[in-house]
C-alpha cells in the first residue's frame, strides 16, 4: 500500500507505525497505516477531511487507542510493553510518561484559560518533568521570546488573538523538549490574516532540526518546509515522497484530484 | 425650573470637523440632560413606605425589641449560634470532600464507580433531610451494634450503636451525606462545563488524570461550581435548624428553649432571624470575593486579572 519509502531514510526512525487500524463503532477510520518518521524530519500529512489524518496523529499521542498494529516512539512501543513474549497494556503512569515525550499543538489552541502565558508554558515542565521552577521560567521566557510574544508573558489567553494563542501553544509544546512535535491542523481555526505568523514560527522550527509531524491544509507550507509529504485518503496512505514530487507531479489520481482544488 | 446641568452651552469644535452652521450644536457632548422626575418620585414613595413600615415595626410593642436586645448576646443564644456555625461548616466541608470523588466517579468510564455513585445520589437526594436525620439518630433500632467485618466472614471490631450515635454524630452524618449528594451533582455540572479539549491537552502533555483534574479542569470548573455552592452553604446554615428535632442545641433550639420558659416567642424568633441574616450576609460577601478570584483570565474582569498578573510578574522577576 505504501508507495515508496521516505526521501530522507537516514538512521533509525524516531517514530514507527505499522499496520495501524482504528475504528469508531462501525466506521473504520484508519485501515492499515505504515509510517516511519526520522529524527529532524518534517513530515506534512495532507488529505481531504475524513481521511483519518487527525485520528492518526491522536493515535500517536494515545488520545485514541489503536485496534490493530503498533506504534513505536523512540524505540518504545506506546501503550503496551512486550516482555517474555506477552504484550501487556501499560498503566496510567507509564502512559503519561510516554506522552510527556511528545508535544502537541491543537487546532483550537487549547491553552489553559485560567493561566497566564508564562504559567501555560511552565505547567508541564514544572508539574510533569520536575524541572525547577526558576529554570523552567527562564526557558519559557526564552521560548515565548522566540515566538515573538515577550510582551505578552503575563497576559491571559483570552486577551490574545488566535495567532498569538497558537504561537503560545507552540512555545508550550517546545517547553517539554519533545522528541516529536505533533501539529493537528494548527492554522485551520485562524482568521486568514493570522495564518502567516503561525506558519512563520513553524518554518523557523522546521529549519532548526526539530522532528515535526504536521497535519495541515497549507500546501504552501508543506512545499516549503516539509522534507516529506504524506497524502492520506480513506484511511490509507495513498502516496508519499518529496514535496516537489508529490505536490508538483502526483502519481495517484486521488492526490491529483485533491491538489487540483488548491490551484 | 433652571436645571444646573453642566456645560449646556455648545462647545467650540476643534479644527474644521464641525463645518456646517449647526454642527457644533449637534455635538452630543453638549446635549441637554433632563432631570428624571418620575424616577425621583418613585424613590421618594418607596423610601416613605419603608420609613413608615420601619416606624410601625419599631414602635409595635408586640415585636418586643427590648427583649430581642436583652437576649441577642445571651450565652445560651451564642452557644446555639456557635453550634449552628460549626455544624454547618463541618457538614459543608465533609459534603464537598465526599461530593468531589462521587462526582468524579459518576463521570468515570468505570461501570462500578458509576453505579455506586448514582445509587448514593439517588438515595440521599431523594429522601427528605429531616427523615434522614431522624433515621441516623435512631440507627440503634435498626442495628443495635455496628461491627467491622469481612462479608460473611469474621468480625474485626464491634461497637454499641448508641455509644457512637449521639445527637452530634447523627447531625453531622445526616447533614454531610445529604450535602455530599447535592455537591456531587453541582461539581459534576461544573466539570461538564469545562471543554473536553482541556483534559485532553493536559493528558497529551503527560499529566496524569488526577493532576490534570486538579490543575486544569477543576480551577476552570470552579466558576460554575462556586455560585450554587454558596447557595448550598446558605441553605445548610438554615438546614441546621432541623437538628433541633434530634435534641441538638443549635441556634433555633436555643431560642426555643428560652421562649418555652418565658413565652416570648416572637422576640426570641427575631433573635434567631437576625443572626441567620447576619451570617448569610457575611457568606454572600465571601462568595462574591471567591467568584472574583476564579473569574481571572476573563477579559471582562480587569482587576482580578491585574492582581494575578502582578503576582506572576514578581515570580518571573524573582
* Partners of residue A108 in chain B, C-beta under 8 Å: 197
Chains A, B: CB contacts within 8 A come to 91
Yes or no, beta carbons of B203 and A99 under 8 Å apart: yes
Q: Which of A98, A116, A177 to mutate to test the interface with B (most CBs of B within 10 A)?
A: A116
Residue B18: inside a domain, yes or no? no
Strand-pairing partners, residue A217, are: none
> Three-class SS string for chain B?
CCCCCCCCCCCCCCCCCCCCCCHHHHCHHHCCCCCCHHHHHHHHHHHHHHHHHHHHHHHCHHHCHHHHHHHHCCHHHHHHHHHHHHHHHHHHHHHHHHHHHHHHHHHCCCHHHHHHHHHHHHHHHHCCHHHHHHHHHCHHHHCCEEEEECCCCCEEEEEEHHHHCCHHHHHHHHHHHHHHHHHHHHHHHHHHCCCHHHHHHHHHCCCCHHHHHHHHHHHHHHHHHHHHHHHHHHHHHHHHHHHHHHCCCCHHHHHHHHHHHHCCHHHHHHHHHHHHHHHHHHHHHHHHHHHHHHCCCCCCCHHHHHHHHHHHHHHHHC
Residue B8: inside a domain, yes or no? no
- pLDDT at residue B313 is higher than 60: no
CA distance A257 to chain B (A): 33
Residue B160: inside a domain, yes or no? yes
Q: Does A123 touch chain B (CB under 8 A)?
A: yes
CA distance A106 to chain B (A): 8
Yes or no, beta carbons of A99 and B205 under 8 Å apart: yes
Nearest alpha carbon to residue B89 among B276, B233, B274: B233
Nearest alpha carbon to residue A203 among A10, A15, A42: A42
Instruction: Give the distance between the most distant pair of CA atoms in chain A.
Output: 55
A165 membership: H or E segment, kind and range: helix A162-174
Residue B59: inside a domain, yes or no? no
The mean pLDDT of B27-44, rounded to a whole number, is 91
pLDDT tens-digit map of B243-264: 888 888 889 999 999 999 999 8
State the Cα–Cα distance between residues A124 and A65, nearest whole angstrom. Answer: 23
Nearest alpha carbon to residue A97 among A113, A76, A118: A76
CA B60, B63, B67, B73 torsion-angle sign: negative
Yes or no, beta carbons of B204 and A127 under 8 Å apart: no
pLDDT tens-digit map of A4-48: 444 445 578 999 999 999 999 999 999 999 999 999 999 999 999
* Chain B contacts to A (CB-CB under 8 A): 195, 197-198, 200-209, 211, 215-216, 219-220, 294, 296-299, 305, 308-309, 312-313, 315-316
Kindly identify which residue of chain B lies nearest to residue A140, measuring between CA atoms. Answer: B316
Percent of chain A's residues with pLDDT above 70: 95
DSSP annotation of A106 reads: -
Yes or no, beta carbons of A154 and B205 under 8 Å apart: no
* Cβ(A221)–Cβ(A42) below 8 Å: no
pLDDT tens-digit map of A120-155: 999 999 999 999 999 999 999 999 999 999 999 999
State the Cα–Cα distance between residues A91 and A160, nearest whole angstrom. Answer: 37
Nearest alpha carbon to residue B305 among A117, A173, A172: A117
The pLDDT score that the predictor gives to residue B301 is 47
Q: Does A186 touch chain B (CB under 8 A)?
A: no
Yes or no, beta carbons of B205 and A176 under 8 Å apart: yes
Nearest alpha carbon to residue A106 among A26, A188, A40, A48: A188
The pLDDT score that the predictor gives to residue B299 is 57
Residue B53: inside a domain, yes or no? no
Candidate from A96, A154, A172 with C-beta closest to B207: A96
Report how many domains make up chain B.
Answer: 1
State the Cα–Cα distance between residues B183 and B196, nearest whole angstrom. Answer: 21
State the Cα–Cα distance between residues B95 and B172, nearest whole angstrom. Answer: 10
Yes or no, beta carbons of B206 and A97 under 8 Å apart: yes
Mean pLDDT rounded to a whole number for chain A: 91
Query: Rounded to the nearest 5 degrees, what angle is found at the Cα of B188, between the Cα atoms of B187 and B192?
Result: 115
- Residue A133 CB neighbours (<10 A): 12
- pLDDT at residue B316 is higher than 60: no
* Cβ neighbours of residue A212 closer than 8 Å, sequence gap 6 or more: A41, A42, A43, A180, A181, A182, A183, A202, A205, A206
Residue A170 dihedral angles phi and psi, to the nearest 5°: -70, -45
The mean pLDDT of A239-252, rounded to a whole number, is 90
* Partners of residue A153 in chain B, C-beta under 8 Å: 313, 316
Candidate from B198, B209, B308 with C-beta closest to A112: B198
State the Cα–Cα distance between residues A231 and A241, nearest whole angstrom. Answer: 9
Give me the CATH number covering residue B116.
Answer: 1.10.3720.10
The whole-model pTM stands at 0.80
A195 membership: H or E segment, kind and range: helix A192-207
- pLDDT at residue A193 is higher than 90: no
Residue B312: inside a domain, yes or no? no
Kindly identify which residue of chain A lies nearest to residue B203, measuring between CA atoms. Answer: A96
* Partners of residue A129 in chain B, C-beta under 8 Å: 206
State the Cα–Cα distance between residues B240 and A41, nearest whole angstrom. Answer: 66
Candidate from A103, A127, A156 with C-beta closest to B297: A156
- Residue A262 CB neighbours (<10 A): 11
Could you tell me the pLDDT band of residue B309, with boundaries at 50, 70 and 90? Answer: low
Query: Rounded to the nearest 5 degrees, what angle is found at the Cα of A18, between the Cα atoms of A13 and A20?
Result: 130
pLDDT tens-digit map of B101-116: 999 999 988 999 999 9
State the Cα–Cα distance between residues A222 and A242, nearest whole angstrom. Answer: 10
Yes or no, beta carbons of B299 and A157 under 8 Å apart: no
Kindly identify which residue of chain B lies nearest to residue A184, measuring between CA atoms. Answer: B201
* Partners of residue B216 in chain A, C-beta under 8 Å: 112, 123
Kindly identify which residue of chain A lies nearest to residue B311, measuring between CA atoms. Answer: A154
Residue B250: inside a domain, yes or no? yes
Yes or no, beta carbons of A156 and B296 under 8 Å apart: yes
The mean pLDDT of A233-256, rounded to a whole number, is 91
* Cβ(A41)–Cβ(A227) below 8 Å: yes
The residue segments making up the domain with residue B290 are 66-294
User: What is the per-residue DSSP string for A71-96?
Assistant: EEETTEESSEEEETTEEEE--HHHHH
State the Cα–Cα distance between residues A38 and A211, nearest whole angstrom. Answer: 7
Kindly identify which residue of chain B lies nearest to residue A129, measuring between CA atoms. Answer: B206
Q: Does A92 touch chain B (CB under 8 A)?
A: yes
The pLDDT score that the predictor gives to residue B62 is 85
Could you tell me the pLDDT band of residue B9, with boundaries at 50, 70 and 90? Answer: very low
CA dihedral A153, A159, A160, A161 (to 10 degrees): -170
Query: Helix or strand or coil: residue A162?
Result: helix
* Cβ(A163)–Cβ(A190) below 8 Å: yes
Half-sphere exposure of B271 (CA within 13 A, CB side): 30
- pLDDT at residue B211 is higher than 60: yes
* Partners of residue A93 in chain B, C-beta under 8 Å: 208
Candidate from A63, A116, A124 with C-beta closest to B206: A124
Residue B165: inside a domain, yes or no? yes
- pLDDT at residue B226 is higher than 60: yes
Yes or no, beta carbons of A154 and B316 under 8 Å apart: yes
The pLDDT score that the predictor gives to residue B296 is 77
Percent of chain B's residues with pLDDT above 70: 89
* Cβ(B197)–Cβ(B166) below 8 Å: no
Kindly identify which residue of chain A lies nearest to residue B198, measuring between CA atoms. Answer: A110
Amino acid at each position: 500500500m505504501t508507495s515508496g519509502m521516505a526521501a530522507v531514510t537516514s538512521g533509525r526512525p524516531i517514530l514507527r507505525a505499522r499496520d495501524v487500524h482504528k475504528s469508531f463503532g462501525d466506521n473504520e477510520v484508519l485501515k492499515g497505516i505504515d509510517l516511519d518518521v526520522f529524527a529532524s524530519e518534517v513530515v506534512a500529512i495532507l488529505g481531504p477531511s475524513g481521511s483519518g489524518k487527525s485520528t492518526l496523529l491522536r493515535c500517536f499521542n494515545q488520545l485514541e487507542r489503536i485496534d490493530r498494529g503498533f506504534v513505536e516512539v523512540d524505540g518504545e512501543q506506546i501503550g503496551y510493553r512486550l516482555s517474555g513474549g506477552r504484550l501487556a497494556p501499560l498503566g496510567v503512569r507509564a502512559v503519561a510518561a510516554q506522552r510527556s515525550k511528545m508535544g502537541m499543538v491543537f487546532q483550537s489552541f487549547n491553552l489553559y484559560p485560567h493561566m497566564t502565558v508564562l504559567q501555560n508554558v511552565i505547567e508541564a515542565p514544572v508539574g510533569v518533568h520536575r524541572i525547577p521552577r526558576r529554570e523552567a521560567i527562564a526557558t519559557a521566557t526564552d521560548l515565548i521570546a522566540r515566538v515573538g510574544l515577550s510582551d505578552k508573558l503575563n497576559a491571559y489567553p483570552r486577551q490574545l488573538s488566535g495567532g498569538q494563542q497558537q504561537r503560545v501553544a507552540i512555545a508550550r509544546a517546545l517547553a517539554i523538549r519533545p522528541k516529536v512535535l505533533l501539529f493537528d491542523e494548527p492554522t485551520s481555526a485562524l482568521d486568514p490574516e493570522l495564518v502567516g505568523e503561525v506558519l512563520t514560527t513553524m518554518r523557523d522550527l522546521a529549519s532548526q532540526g526539530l522532528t515535526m509531524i504536521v497535519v495541515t491544509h497549507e500546501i504552501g507550507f508543506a512545499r516549503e518546509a516539509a522534507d516529506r509529504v504524506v497524502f492520506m485518503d480513506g484511511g490509507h496512505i495513498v502516496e508519499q515522497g518529496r514535496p516537489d514530487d508529490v505536490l508538483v507531479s502526483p502519481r495517484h489520481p486521488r492526490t491529483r484530484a485533491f491538489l487540483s482544488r488548491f490551484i | 425650573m433652571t436645571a444646573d446641568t453642566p456645560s449646556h452651552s455648545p462647545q467650540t469644535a476643534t479644527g474644521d470637523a464641525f463645518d456646517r452652521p449647526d454642527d457644533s450644536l449637534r455635538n452630543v457632548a453638549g446635549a441637554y440632560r433632563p432631570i428624571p422626575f418620575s424616577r425621583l418620585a418613585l424613590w421618594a414613595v418607596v423610601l416613605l413606605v419603608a420609613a413608615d413600615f420601619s416606624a410601625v415595626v419599631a414602635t409595635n410593642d408586640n415585636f418586643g425589641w427590648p427583649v430581642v436586645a436583652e437576649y441577642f448576646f445571651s450565652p445560651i443564644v451564642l452557644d446555639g449560634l456557635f453550634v449552628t456555625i460549626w455544624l454547618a461548616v463541618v457538614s459543608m466541608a465533609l459534603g464537598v470532600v465526599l461530593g468531589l470523588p462521587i462526582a468524579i466517579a459518576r463521570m468515570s468510564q468505570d461501570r462500578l464507580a458509576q453505579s455506586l455513585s448514582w445509587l448514593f445520589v439517588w438515595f440521599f437526594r431523594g429522601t427528605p433531610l429531616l427523615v434522614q436525620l431522624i433515621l441516623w439518630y435512631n440507627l440503634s433500632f435498626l442495628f443495635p451494634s455496628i461491627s467491622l467485618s469481612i462479608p460473611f466472614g469474621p468480625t474485626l471490631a464491634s461497637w454499641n450503636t448508641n455509644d457512637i450515635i449521639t445527637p452530634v454524630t447523627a447531625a453531622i452524618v445526616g447533614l454531610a451525606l445529604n450535602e455530599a449528594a447535592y455537591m456531587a451533582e453541582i461539581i459534576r455540572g461544573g466539570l461538564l462545563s469545562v471543554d473536553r479539549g482541556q483534559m485532553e491537552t493536559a493528558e497529551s502533555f503527560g499529566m496524569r488524570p488526577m493532576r490534570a483534574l486538579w490543575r486544569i479542569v477543576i480551577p476552570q470548573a470552579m466558576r460554575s461550581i462556586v455560585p450554587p455552592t454558596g447557595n448550598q452553604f446558605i441553605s445548610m446554615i438554615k438546614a441546621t435548624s432541623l437538628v433541633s428535632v434530634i435534641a441538638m442545641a443549635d441556634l433555633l433550639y436555643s431560642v426555643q428553649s428560652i421562649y418555652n420558659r418565658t413565652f416570648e416567642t416572637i422576640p426570641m424568633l427575631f433573635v434567631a432571624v437576625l443572626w441567620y441574616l447576619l451570617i448569610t450576609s457575611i457568606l454572600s460577601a465571601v462568595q462574591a470575593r471567591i467568584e472574583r478570584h476564579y473569574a481571572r483570565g476573563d477579559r471582562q474582569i480587569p482587576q482580578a486579572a491585574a492582581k494575578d498578573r502582578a503576582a506572576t510578574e514578581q515570580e518571573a522577576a524573582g
